[in-house]
Amino acid sequence: MSNLRIAAFETLMELIKNSPKDCYPVVQNTTVVMLKKLEQLLSIENSLETSSDKSQLRDLESLLCATLQSVLRKMREEDAPLIGDAIMRGLLQIMQRCAGKECGGVMEDALMAVSTLFEALGNKFLNYLDVFKPYLTAGLGNHEEAQVCSAAIGVLADLCRALEGNIAPYLDEFMSLLFQIVQSEKVDATVKPAVLFCFGDVALAIGPSFSRYYEYVTNFLLMAVSTAKVEDRVSIVRSLFCACLFVLLMVCLFDFFLARYHRLSYVLYFYVFCELKGSFNFCRFIMPMNSQVT
């Protein structure tokens, strides 16, 4: 029964994804059905007693979150604000009930659904940012669950792209959490390159105001390359290499316009390139490899 339910939801998501314009009313009706189903699940959660029932409920919540993502991607710009309150209310309840529990998969899917929502809403998502922020910061601080932490980093990057300069008042706290991820020994190595990419998205969002984080970010880039040696997997080092170059390119652009730290930047770029180039066979960097360096 569980496999049949999963197949049904996956089929529904594909139908929504590939639906033509004249089927838009069906997409709207599907949204209403999914929201009602989500409300029903949230209302019965406290009455469940067995671990099996609770596990099935979590799986169904994940499927609903994924389906809502498909719906939001097809939603017209003028219609997204009309359902924003209902979707956000349901997702916040899911994240609230996941707090402090071992349900990382549901939390990840809920975060991704919120990310799709603010992509649809753009700057209108500012109305929900204050109530959503505690859950995003909790995800960024979850160093033990790599999937949740990685999803939170991706959500923050998407948030920067959606809100652009409007994200600036919240960045001090978010940047502090990103720095903690880079420094933490508990965080899986595959998560850290995403943090460096996120630095670049922050730089793109706030422009010259990124100079306030310049010194901290460059220090963390130097720390990152100093740890990317031959014992790391090639795929991780490749991701780290790309992330560093992306961030440094953003900083270089702002240096050009601000004429600040100009010489230091180019010295740093050269150092990072040499460090990463020397950390493993550069020919392997440009070749797709999944094996571990020995």
Q: What is the pLDDT of residues 40-49, one digit of tens each?
A: 887 877 676 6
How many CA atoms lie less than 13 Å away from 258 in the CB half-sphere? Answer: 18
pLDDT, mean of residues 121-139? 91
What six digits make up the tokens of 192?
A: 């850290």
Q: What is the model's pTM? A: 0.76
Tell me if 168 sits within 8 A of 209, measured CB to CB: yes
Segment 80-114, tens digit of pLDDT:
888 888 889 889 988 887 766 666 578 888 899 99
CA–CA distance, 158 with 95 (Å, rounded to integer): 18
Where do we find the tokens 């339910």? 5
| Termini Cα distance of the chain | 45
